[in-house]
Amino acid sequence: MEQVEQKSVSHFLAGLIIAAILIVYSMFLTFMDLTGNQSLSYISMVLLIVGIIFFVNQYGKSVDHTATFGQLFSYGFKATAIATLVVIAFQVIFFFIFPEYKEKIIDISREQMLKQGQVPEAQVEQALEMVRKFFWVGLIGGSLLFNLISGAIASLIGAGITKKIPQSPFQQQS
């Protein structure tokens, strides 16, 4: 019986696919006017984690389960880094093209702060002025931190659950 060789998906392509999924989901939330729904925004984290775990597992299968934990983790984290860079680039371009969405996010923040009722309105306006001042730092830094931490966790999980067949150091590698 002939064995079919599986071709592995590069970490670059895996990152691009995950980024595309996250961007499409983000656009769906934005244009369906669901950006204020916090629980729906957590789905993007789930999509990232599931995508990384899936691609790490597929990579392990493509190398006949001979990859080490470190190699699998490295693959997942590289895919995470690519996805993160593409998503951040998209966000920057999106907010330059559609600056009104920046104000929409600030308005949603104002509503949420006022709804809680624990902060006086003067402090809410002061806080929102800080959000305006540091919007780009918050956007890029928050996305970077959020995606890299989520991706690292997903890479650890993916590397941990992917089947590994230990190699003897005495076996000749081709």
* pLDDT tier, 3 (very low <50, low <70, confident <90, very high otherwise): low
Other Cβ atoms less than 10 A from the Cβ of 48: the count is 26
Asked whether 108 and 36 are in contact (CB, 8 A), the reply is yes
CA-closest candidate to residue 108, choices 159, 18, 40: 40
Asked whether 147 and 80 are in contact (CB, 8 A), the reply is yes
Token representation of residue 78? 């590289």
Phi/psi region, residue 64 (left: phi>0; alpha: psi -120 to 50; beta: rest), is left
- pLDDT tens column, 79-90: 999 999 999 999
- pLDDT tens column, 100-139: 888 888 888 788 777 777 777 778 788 888 888 888 999 9
What distance separates the 2 farthest-apart alpha carbons in the chain? 75
- pLDDT tens column, 5-26: 567 789 999 999 999 999 999 9
Q: For residue 138, give Cα distances in angstroms to 13, 88, 143.
A: 27, 11, 8
CA-closest candidate to residue 8, choices 76, 70, 69: 76
Asked whether 79 and 18 are in contact (CB, 8 A), the reply is yes
pLDDT at position 165: 84
Instruction: Identify the burial level of 32 via C-beta atoms within 10 angstroms of its C-beta, where 0-12 means exposed, 13-18 middle and 19 or more buried.
Output: exposed
